[in-house]
Amino acid sequence: MKSDYVIIGGGLAGISTLYELTIRGHEVVLLEEKDDVALETSYANGGMLTPSMADPWNSPGIAKHLIKSLNNQHSAMKLHLSALPGMAFWGLKFLRNSTKKRYYAATKASFELAKFSLNRINELIEELNIQNDHNKKGTMKVFTNNQSFSNQIKIAKMLSELGLNYSPLNNHETIKVEPLLSNTKEKIIGSIYYEDDCSGDARLFTKKLANESVKLGAKIFTKTKVEKITRHKNKITGLETANKFISTSNIIIAAGNNTPILTKRFGLNPSIKPVKGYSLTFELNGKNQLPRIPVIDDSMHAAIVPLGKRLRAVGTAELAGFDKSIPNERIDNLKYLFKRLYPDLNETVNWANVKPWAGLRPMSADSLPFIGKVKNIKGLWINSGHGHLGWTMSSGSAILISDLIEGKKPSIDPLPYRIYR
Ligand SMILES: Cc1cc2nc3c(=O)[nH]c(=O)nc-3n(C[C@H](O)[C@H](O)[C@H](O)COP(=O)(O)OP(=O)(O)OC[C@H]3O[C@@H](n4cnc5c(N)ncnc54)[C@H](O)[C@@H]3O)c2cc1C
């Protein structure tokens, strides 16, 4: 078999790239290890499209927080001792990037890509009539701590120079924007409303883009794990799976957390590590009104997101290696958040029937993705490591990698997302 371009990985990054290259007229094949596309991290994520959340998770002071988290099962961001041995290189980089200067620079770069990407996602949803419970009413972050509230306003103010629209609200105004918070048991001191944020089901979006790509001539092979990328001298020649060789001169690796495994033999180790999170998707019994918009609880690093007739409780961040187990404490935290924010609605949920999910965010050490070409190897590209914003950044990243592949002037400055940094 032969193809001009082969993409490895059928998550948000890979499928968005497949669609972009296909509409540009290229012959593209995508290979996915699982039984279908969007079954890994892109399956049941928070569904929020949030340039407003551009600030990286390694904020100044993160080291102290992580050490404390070792003994706290309920910590919003938690480090597991078992994950430490494989994390030295990434961990040091993660801490090095938590200086004020680097943190603010990464926040800006993340915002630029996220904003650019969200515009494209909104266009695609309209153009392709994607039915993914898309909601354009914004998101709201609520605060129970004055210090965190003023820190976040500072970030929002900085990003407003790049185009972020935000409104700081007091408790009373918060309830006006999301009336279902009127009986909340949280001591909300204020919130920030981000009117341009959106939300929607990322898996349904990915599946639709995959189908549209196939209609336009792209090929997707599922249950197909790439074992090895081959080259002759400094040129890509193809790749090997368990039962076939595909000849190609251009490969785009969009394999999420597995990207470093595939690049290793080319001497490249992009600093990507899995950061675990959880979600619970459920419906309410009866005819209760649902919240209008996603509400993010800053202190718990978690959110309640309406998705059409469903609700999704989502969040937390754990450095636990590739472990996808789902401990009860973590799920209880999400249930607790829902109960505190919406005590009336909580009465109508049958928690026994709710199936929990865990996913591993492919997180780089500075929270920015790796988008670009592998040095000294002709035809090897990467679009990976989008961390907590992989849905938000998906379509923008696909445009950027496609521009670079085609040798066009990129639509957005590629420098912050370069592979070697
Ligand atoms: C709990 C949680 C909540 C989140 N909430 C949000 C949110 O609200 N908003 C947001 O923007 N982002 C969110 N994210 C982040 C977002 O989901 C991820 O960044 C995104 O899904 C990553 O997409 P990906 O395509 O890079 O990786 P994946 O979706 O993991 O796709 C990679 C694919 O590559 C395949 N693969 C790997 N190796 C091989 C191989 N050798 N051969 C063939 N195939 C291979 C895998 O099977 C997989 O399907 C959240 C993540 C989590 C875990």
pLDDT digits (tens, 9 = 90+) for 26-60: 999 999 999 999 999 999 999 999 999 999 988 88
Taking residues 308-334, report their average pLDDT. 93
Residue-level pLDDT at 406: 97
- Is the pLDDT confidence value at 64 over 80? no
Contact partners, residue 287, CB within 8 Å, separation at least 6: none
Residue-level pLDDT at 73: 72
Taking residues 6-21, report their average pLDDT. 98
Q: Using the atom order of ligand 1, give the atom closest to the CA of residue 37.
A: 49
pLDDT digits (tens, 9 = 90+) for 267-304: 999 999 999 999 999 999 877 889 999 999 988 889 99
Query: 142-175 in b/e burial notation, b at 16+ Cβ within 10 A?
Result: bbeeeeebebbeebbebbeeeebebebbeeeebb
Both structure tokens of 183: 């009986």
- Is the pLDDT confidence value at 370 over 80? yes
DSSP notation for 228-275: EEEEETTEEEEEEESS-EEE-S-EEE--GGGHHHHHGGGT----EEEE
Give Cα 181 to chain centroid, integer Å. Answer: 26
Select the more confidently predicted residue: 382 or 78: 382
Q: Using the atom order of ligand 1, give the atom closest to the CA of residue 385.
A: 26
Residue-level pLDDT at 301: 86
Residue-level pLDDT at 199: 98
The confidence band for 139, taking pLDDT boundaries of 50, 70 and 90, is very high
Q: Which of 31, 59, 219 is nearest to 154 (CA)?
A: 59
Quote the ligand 1 centre to 10 CA distance (angstroms): 9
- Is the pLDDT confidence value at 348 over 80? yes
Residue percentage of the chain with pLDDT more than 90: 82
- According to CATH, the topology of domain 5-42+204-271+367-417 is FAD/NAD(P)-binding domain (3.50.50)
Residue-level pLDDT at 352: 87
Give, using CA atoms, the residue closest to atom 41 of ligand 1. 226
- Is the pLDDT confidence value at 207 over 90? yes
Residue-level pLDDT at 148: 92
Q: Answer whether 160's CB lies under 8 Å from 153's CB.
A: no
Average pLDDT, the chain: 94
Residue-level pLDDT at 190: 96
Q: Using the atom order of ligand 1, give the atom closest to the CA of residue 255.
A: 34
Residue-level pLDDT at 355: 86
Provide the 8-state DSSP code for 42. T
Give, using CA atoms, the residue closest to atom 3 of ligand 1. 45
Q: Using the atom order of ligand 1, give the atom closest to the CA of residue 276.
A: 53
Give, using CA atoms, the residue closest to atom 6 of ligand 1. 46
Residue-level pLDDT at 281: 97
Q: Which of 272, 361, 384 to mutate to test the pocket of ligand 1 (most atoms within 8 A of CB)?
A: 361
Q: Answer whether 122's CB lies under 8 Å from 135's CB.
A: no
Give, using CA atoms, the residue closest to atom 20 of ligand 1. 390
Residue-level pLDDT at 57: 87
Q: Using the atom order of ligand 1, give the atom closest to the CA of residue 357.
A: 1
Report the C-alpha gap between 375 and 268 in whole angstroms. Answer: 9
pTM for the whole structure: 0.96
Residue percentage of the chain with pLDDT more than 70: 100
Give, using CA atoms, the residue closest to atom 18 of ligand 1. 390
Q: Which of 77, 391, 392, 395 to mutate to test the pocket of ligand 1 (most atoms within 8 A of CB)?
A: 391
Q: CA end-to-end span of the chain, whole Å?
A: 35
Give, using CA atoms, the residue closest to atom 33 of ligand 1. 9
- Is the pLDDT confidence value at 263 over 80? yes
Pocket of ligand 1 (CB under 6 A): 8-14, 31-34, 39-42, 45-48, 225-226, 254-256, 258, 277-279, 314, 359, 361-362, 384, 386-392
Quote the ligand 1 centre to 280 CA distance (angstroms): 17
Residue-level pLDDT at 94: 87
Quote the ligand 1 centre to 387 CA distance (angstroms): 8
Quote the ligand 1 centre to 12 CA distance (angstroms): 6
- Is the pLDDT confidence value at 135 over 90? yes
Give, using CA atoms, the residue closest to atom 2 of ligand 1. 45
- Residue ranges of domains in the chain: 5-42+204-271+367-417, 51-197+272-364
Report the C-alpha gap between 204 and 223 in whole angstroms. Answer: 20
Residue-level pLDDT at 75: 75
- Is the pLDDT confidence value at 121 over 90? yes
Q: Which of 16, 31, 42, 389 to mutate to test the pocket of ligand 1 (most atoms within 8 A of CB)?
A: 42
Identical fold at 5-42+204-271+367-417 and 51-197+272-364? no
Both structure tokens of 308: 């059409």
Q: Which of 20, 43, 45 to mutate to test the pocket of ligand 1 (most atoms within 8 A of CB)?
A: 45
Taking residues 238-261, report their average pLDDT. 96
Residue-level pLDDT at 140: 98
Domain 51-197+272-364, CATH class in plain words: alpha beta
Kind of pairing, strands 139-143 and 190-194? antiparallel
Report the C-alpha gap between 256 and 267 in whole angstroms. Answer: 18
Instruction: Report which residue type is found at 328.
Output: N
